[in-house]
Structures are given as C-alpha cells and as structure tokens.
Structure 1
C-alpha cells in the first residue's frame, strides 16, 4: 500500500519502531525479556564492565531510569551488578550472554529484511545517527 506523498516523517519512524518491537518481542518473550530492555543487554554484553553512569550517558537516559531497567534485567538473571569503589559495574550472566547473542543474530536478520543495499543501509544509519545527534 503506497503512502501519501505529503505524509510527515513521524509516522514512518513510528512504523519502523513498532514493527521492530513486534519482531524482537516475539523472539525474546520465551526468555522473559522485552523489547525495551534488549538494547541495554546488548550494550552491556558488548562493553564488559560498563558502569551504570556510562549506560545512562550512552542511551541519553537519566540514571534512575537505567537503575530501574537494570533491576529488571538483574531480577530476570540476565546481568549482575558489582560494586567497584564508587560505581557499580555491570556484567552479563551466562543467561544474559546467550540471550544477547540470540538477539544480535535476529537483529542481523531484521536488517536483512529491510531489503537495502549495503550503501543504502550505511546511508540510512548515518542519517539516523545525524538526526539523533541533532535532537540531543
């Protein structure tokens, strides 16, 4: 179904977000994870020993939001928090590692479903990052 020529950008962003959320939620529901938490888990997996403060900065969220989400991940057995002097270091558990790898694999499959050439995909990412940086 074609879109109206005068449609603003927001609905397109919303469609992509919702479809990706449905896709990821279907994959991780058996693991007890949700779409909203999966980026945190992947970031922690890829950045072993990251702190809560670094996570808040990376996602442009306040620390209380990060703390709540980390508690959810910890309660479900995906991560553990280790007190290190003045900050809390976050580590993935074996369950968290297994789930992060699964999500990253499916994220690659999602990207392939977009049916973009490599150049188009790289341009798409570049534009998304540029827009995000301008908004923050």
Structure 2
C-alpha cells in the first residue's frame, strides 16, 4: 500500500470531512460552514474582512458563506460605522459547541489505539513538519 505522508494526510482529510459532515448535518450545517462558524465563535465582533483573511478564503466565497450563516440564523451581523460585526446567534452558539467538539471526538476515535505517550509524540512530530513547512513559505 502507499506509504507516503501525502497519502495519509489526504486519507485523514477525507475521513474527517465525511465524519464532520455527518455530525453537522444533524444541526443543519455543512462542512463548508465549519471554519467560518468556529472563527466567529472564537472572535466575536470580528468583521467579514477579518474572517476572510484569517481563513484564507476568496472574498466572494467568504461573503456567500457568511450570508448563508446569517440567513440560516447561526450568525448575527450588525452594522457598526462603515463595517459589519459578526457574532453568534443563539442557534450559532449551540452549533459552535457541536462544531468545536467534533475535533476532539474525531481525535478520540482515531487515536484510540495509541497510548497517551504515543499521541504526544505523534502531535510533536506533526507540529515539527508543519513548522518546517511554514518556515519554507
């Protein structure tokens, strides 16, 4: 079988996306709404521009994502001066908790065969690879 980092990272991405989509579907969200919702939950009062920049989204896609979350009642958008501020609505706060928890639940399932020490080693190695990539950019 394939034994490359690229193969495993792609496989994990697909598995995480499918798992997350199933969980989010139960609260009326899709995978594409996951990161904008979490960003607003962690940065209440942020602007759409800040969200788009932080997540590296295309401006048009970011605006459509925000509008859908507003229309569906997850995010409240209020005008402040010349810009808008984003906050989670009540429905969004519940969705934020579910969305945030999905990361921990998936990790628990996927890393179950590993000891705590092995989990720590794996995360340290992955962080080392990630930092090396960031430095190259």
Q: What is the TM-score with the length of structure 2 in the denominator?
A: 0.82
Query: Which moves more between the two structures, 116-125 or 92-101?
Result: 116-125
Q: Do residues 108 (structure 1) and 107 (structure 2) align? A: no
Unmatched tracts of structure 1, length 5 or more? none
**Structure 2 unpaired stretches of 5+:** none
Match of 1:27 in 2: 23
User: RMSD across aligned C-alpha pairs, in angstroms?
Assistant: 2.2
> Secondary structure of 1:49's partner?
coil
Counterpart of 2:66? 70
Whether the 8 Å CA contact 1:24–1:35 is kept in 2: the answer is yes
TM-score normalised by L of structure 1: 0.83
* Equivalent residue, structure 2, for 1:17: 13
How many residues are paired up? 132
Instruction: Give the 5 Å matches for 1:76-87.
Output: 76-87=72-83
Deviating runs (4+, > 6 A) in structure 1? none
Q: Which residue of 2 aligns with 1:123?
A: 124
